[in-house]
Amino acid sequence: MRDFLPEEASARARVRRTIEEVFQRYGFDPLETPACERIETLLGKYGEEGDQLLFKILKRGEGSERGEVDMGLRYDLTVPLARVVAMHPAQIQLPFRRYQIQPVWRADRPQRGRFREFVQCDVDIVGVESIAADAELIAVADAAFRALGLTDYRMRINHRAVLRGMIEAAGVAHEREGDVLVAVDKLDKIGPDGVHSELVARGFPTSVADRIGALLRARDAAPEDGLAVIEEFAGSTDAGRHGLAELRDLVSLVGDYGLDPGRWRVDPVLARGLSYYTGPVFEANLEGMPGSVAGGGRYDGLVGMFSGRDIPATGIALGFERLVVLLSERGAFEGQGAHADVLVAVLSATDRSASTRLSQTLRAHGLNVELYPEDRKVGAQLKYASRRGIPFAVLSGPDERSRGEVQLKDLRTGEQASIAEEDLVERLRSALTL
């Protein structure tokens, strides 16, 4: 788990704020849930591996001596959403459009780019069967990426029923579906030819491996071509026809949002790991970044596990931590240092009173001002401000004050000039383009 020192914390806050504004632009409202959930709420929701990765909290009092556990740290934001919808039926009207940006905790072995505490960034629509809700989620994710300046992402869309239909149509027995998916899941690592060999090695006939291979090669086609491939490979099955019809609707609905068609694909082999998906699934990737930066899909069964009645739901999660890393690598945060616009230096103890009043004036005009809090040499104060990335410093001693002036120093260029104190706010505001 990581400390975020000011520069990083500021960058994260900016990314978060950008994403939040987009979510609000699309009519989503915030939800916050506690870090701790009852252990029964969490156990059994994430598979056996997930149970192992829960951080468990010891009971207080007597139970603690027996090592008893009553709560666990939140593992994702989807289970808490399902619990909330079930617990507060009177306050939550459906459709419920919520976003939630909070940390989750997983006791994974720490490794590069994986953390035990990380922020998830979920946006979901609960209570809507229509595929229009899924289209809205693809559109909001697109808008978030664009707001972050990331236009080189690619969103891939599929439908769970399509996948079932294709495997059935390829002549794979129902009980061997899993084997096919395991091989297909290695695509990014071993390529389409590797998947073909793997399928043959696992005892599938060459005809099956050929069909799957053809599908894998179709994943980078335009949406219309992707639909044609699905028709060809899955149209003969009930599941395939159902999935295809929903995907066609989805493609048409997404088109109405005006997304750049180059940015999204129908990918006939996109599966998404989580077993609770029931309909459309989505995943976004960025050039040169392994893994996904967003993913989601429809999970019509999960909310019902808590509320005891069927409530459809669909959602997408942005990979907040990955996005921060990527934006940082691309220099998106460069030159964004301290929040302070200006350091007001204090030339000597007797100047503090005047410098304090000057700071207050600048603050009242909306400038972010750091007043140096100690009596130290001016050189040390300016060095401190430079290292902090504060762009300007203001110096004012008795001489300046007697003339109604201040010294304004641009810490980026080193330039320093006397200016009338009454012009200071305007000069700073225009230099900072506030």
**63 and 109 Cβ atoms separated by less than 8 Å:** no
Between 44 and 178, name the residue whose CB sits nearer to a copy of itself: 44
Return d(Cα 256, Cα 139) in angstroms, integer.
10
Binding mask 264-283 for a copy of itself (x = CB under 8 A): --------------------
DSSP of 77-102: SHHHHHHHHHH-TTT-PSSEEEEEEE
Q: State yes or no: residue 103 binds a copy of itself (CB under 8 A).
A: yes
CB of 251 to a copy of itself, least distance (A): 13
Answer for which of 47, 52, 275, 399 binds a copy of itself (CB under 8 A) is 52
CB of 122 to a copy of itself, least distance (A): 14
Q: State yes or no: residue 209 binds a copy of itself (CB under 8 A).
A: no
Q: State yes or no: residue 357 binds a copy of itself (CB under 8 A).
A: yes
Residue with tokens 């997404």: 254
* Site for a copy of itself, residues 361 to 400, rule: CB under 8 A: 363, 366-375, 384, 387-388
Between 274 and 338, name the residue whose CB sits nearer to a copy of itself: 338
**Closest Cα partner for 281 from 269, 291, 293, 290?**
269
**56 and 40 Cβ atoms separated by less than 8 Å:** no
**17 and 30 Cβ atoms separated by less than 8 Å:** no
* Site for a copy of itself, residues 139 to 168, rule: CB under 8 A: 139, 143
Answer for which of 44, 107, 262, 420 binds a copy of itself (CB under 8 A) is 107
Between 5 and 173, name the residue whose CB sits nearer to a copy of itself: 5
* Site for a copy of itself, residues 115 to 144, rule: CB under 8 A: 117, 125, 128-130, 132-133, 135-136, 139, 143
Sole window of 67-75, 181-189, 288-296, 315-323 interacting with a copy of itself (rule: CB under 8 A): 67-75
Strands 392-395 and 342-344 turn out to be parallel
Up-side HSE of residue 108: CA atoms within 13 Å toward CB?
Answer: 14
Answer for which of 43, 86, 221, 338 binds a copy of itself (CB under 8 A) is 338
Binding mask 75-94 for a copy of itself (x = CB under 8 A): ---------x--xx--xxx-
* Site for a copy of itself, residues 229 to 258, rule: CB under 8 A: 252-253, 256-258
Strands 342-344 and 313-318 turn out to be unpaired
Between 74 and 219, name the residue whose CB sits nearer to a copy of itself: 74
Three-state SS for 232-291 is: HHHCCCHHHHHHHHHHHHHHHHHHHCCCCHHHEEECCCCCCCCCCCCCEEEEEEECCCCC
**What are the structure tokens assigned to 157, written together?**
């869309």
